[in-house]
Structure 1
């Protein structure tokens, strides 16, 4: 398949899979609130999505190196659909926790599979651009998912009533089903990549070898801090909206605005990095997220528009940059493994930090939750400032 062909197929899959993912993350927050969940439970719910990845991310990355990222992503879509179906037909807070863990495993497989495919198919100067394409498609999914799910869930209930979460989950399930056919367009390209890798002499590094890559820990820490911010936003924005008297449909549109800004922020990203450097782009964008998180508890619905623009920049730009940063530190035979390791660190942050933030900041409500999150991102800025992330993008894989 041509470069433009696999980009279109992968982009379509990423859009639909991400729309399903963020729709689920948002709608189960409303279901949990309806069943009487408190901030501590919401933090546990956010963590439950990440628990399976603590043991599965690195093996998933190795499987992607061996069998191809497209097959792993396809299996992940089926797994996530199974978890969504269980959540749809079986009520209860305990089921929310268990089903969210299954969905989290499926989403992990989708993300690692797609990222490994991009890492294997790209090289040199195309890497930032290709990861930018993947993450832009994911942001389009984030743009589509929240309004589609919340509007559909609001159509069947009276104005001002809680959304119908069953309808919302069915929309998410439909997105997952529509994402699966892309596998049949991508597998031929992936098969060719596997044949090429089998004829190279590059050994697969073990975990210790991957961890020894200079500067790897810094890229992993920054990546984890940014991703956990996305999780906390989806978990706690419904709490902020409930306190402000803002409807679920409006919340969906605000989150869609954030996603739209993330998409726009990735246009021309390669040129921006070439001009200003990866380190400068990371510092400036994460600083925008810090300011936005600090402001969110203090504003109403109109102020939230500006906040979502800031979060769109602050959460949109760093994700493709940290992916390319991580991949540039390892050989091509270990790209899936290092992306799995990245996901392990991300999920460790997702397991520990939401519960910690929810417990520590619960007495202060949403003010404490978002301000503690802003402090985490300030620490990430310090890590970037001490790194060599500004190295020219597109450096060839080390031998």
Structure 2
């Protein structure tokens, strides 16, 4: 049926079953602000002569609140629906980005800004993922999550490119205003009901509110562990490959091209994911992608040739680019009814823990033993995660039927 997506006075635009694309577009705008904030804040801190330790504190602060509060933000979504968390998260993030514009040339304001940005962005991330699941049915879960991942990938690219140009042409302070406007505009769309979202339905039965109960589900445990492994791989590659590249005397330009091959693979694999998902189960496809990524981690520290490294980076990107939306889809798939937001929040908490812990743990390890043990340890984790995906699914009591969650 036709669904009204925009409504202002007597002006209504109707698009047939396309609200998922508008939601992804708004997620893309927010992701552009999110990724641009990372680039802008790093460059602005360097411009203000910040010590490298200070940059580490900024990174930690931006991830600590999401790690600690992601589960509660998911519960918040489950209890009150989608609109308020999205409005709060997007406008809150935009407001946090305005602080460096208001307080010029002060490093301490970056600590405040990034802490608040991390606090508010958890509502947006979890709620968008939950909303996409609510707008899906048993036949298009994987497709819609692939569309969301593709949109956020485009947002990451735009955030990097547009922020660089904006700094050169309008300066650091006004670039913060530009990025803040993207986040705030997205929030205003939801605030003024310019996009329709499923109405919140109250729980029909009393359910346990302890998140530890979710871990009783073998399939959910497997999803959480796998999600942590995936993000660990993403961060280790971003963190350690430049170190390895410099150790074999590659120029920064060549290192950038190899990393670019990885990003390009993300776009390509997510374009064909719906077809792959139609032929293979989510678990089996995820297992194949994890094993594919393990090849890159195992072979990269043994190779010094630029072209072979670029090829391995591309292969790894095909696997990682497929893994992330699949783990998101599986988290929603195996979650109990009315606790989908909590499950996605727990998944995000695991991911953010990896974001905080991995560089701290792997840094001393790499400094002592070199990069080879780091890459091979991660290859072993990916092999373990990949093989675990080929074990039979279990009919957990906690799992809800997909048809019950279909709007």
Helix, strand or coil at the partner of 1:181: helix
Look up the match of 1:355.
Answer: 360
Alpha-carbon distance, 1:382 to partner = 4.1
Q: How does 1:136-151 map to 2 (within 5 A)?
A: 136-150=150-164
Preserved contact between residue 85 and residue 124 of structure 2 (Cα < 8 Å): yes
2:34 counterpart residue number: 21
1:77–1:107 CA contact under 8 A, matched in 2: yes
1:6 and 1:329 mapped to 2: Cα distance?
24
Q: Counterparts of 1:182-197 in structure 2 under 5 Å?
A: 182-186=186-190, 188=193, 193-195=198-200, 197=201
| Mapped contact 1:53–1:344 kept (Cα < 8 A) | yes
Name 1:79's counterpart in structure 2.
Answer: 92
1:63 to 48, 69, 76: 76
Q: CA separation in 2, counterparts of 1:360 and 1:170?
A: 40
Q: 1:29-53: per-residue Cα shift (whole Å, max 9, x none)?
A: 5667774527xx8766544332112
1:111 aligns with 2:100: no
**Alpha-carbon contact 1:29-1:238 (below 8 Å) kept:** no
With 285-294 and 109-118 compared, the bigger mean Cα shift is at 285-294
Aligned counterparts of 1:123 and 1:204: Cα–Cα separation in 2: 23
Tell me how far apart the structure 2 counterparts of residues 193 and 328 of structure 1 sit (CA, whole Å): 18
Q: How many residues align?
A: 380
Question: Deviation per CA, 1:125-171, whole angstroms, max 9, x where unpaired?
Answer: 22222212111111111232233334555x58xxxxxxxxx957854
In 2, the alpha carbon distance for the partners of 1:301 and 1:28 equals 31
**Cα displacement (A) at 1:15:** 1.6
Residue of 223, 228, 233 corresponding to 1:229: 233
Using a 3 Å threshold, how does the CA distance of structure 1 residues 168 and 90 change in structure 2: closer, same or farther? closer
Q: How does 1:174-323 map to 2 (within 5 A)?
A: 174-186=178-190, 188=193, 193-195=198-200, 197-198=201-202, 201-206=204-209, 207-236=211-240, 244-247=250-253, 251=256, 257-295=261-299, 298-299=303-304, 302-303=307-308, 305-323=310-328
1:60 Cα deviation from its structure 2 partner: 0.7
Residues 43 and 354 in structure 1, CA contact (< 8 A), matched pair in contact too: no
TM-score by length of 2: 0.77
Give me the whole-angstrom Cα distance separating, in 1, the residues matched to 2:328 and 2:125.
11
CA distance in 2, matches of 1:98, 1:168: 17
SS in 2 for 1:267: helix
Is 124-133 or 44-53 further displaced after alignment? 44-53
**TM-superposition CA deviations, 1:26-80 (whole Å, max 9, x none):** 4555667774527xx8766544332112331111112112333343233223333
Q: 1:121 aligns with which of 121, 135, 151?
A: 135
Deviation at 1:371, TM superposition (A): 4.6
Could you say which residue in structure 1 is the equivalent of 2:403?
396
Q: Is the 8 A contact 2:70 2:122 kept in 1?
A: yes
Secondary structure class of the residue paired with 1:103:
helix
The CA distance in 2 between the partners of 1:366 and 1:26, in whole Å, is 26
Sort the Cα spacing of 1:287 and 1:336 in 2 relative to 1 into closer, same or farther, 3 A: same
Contact 2:134 2:198 in 1 (8 A): yes
Paired residue secondary structure (2:335): coil
> Over alpha carbons, which structure has the higher Rg?
2
CA distance in 1, matches of 2:373, 2:55: 15
Distance 1:109 1:384, change over 3 A: same
**1:261 Cα deviation (Å)?**
2.5
1:328 equivalent in alignment to 2:342: no
Q: Is the 8 A contact 2:300 2:312 kept in 1?
A: yes
TM-score w.r.t. structure 1 length? 0.78
Offset from partner CA, 1:314-361 (integer Å, 9 cap, x none): 221112211221112223311111111111222222222221112222
- Inter-partner Cα distance in structure 2 for 1:178 and 1:145: 11
Query: How far apart, in 1, do the equivalents of 2:55 and 2:367 lie?
Result: 11
- Provide, for residues 238-262 of structure 1, a one-character-per-residue CA deviation record: whole Å limited to 9, x for no partner: 65677643159x83x7655534422
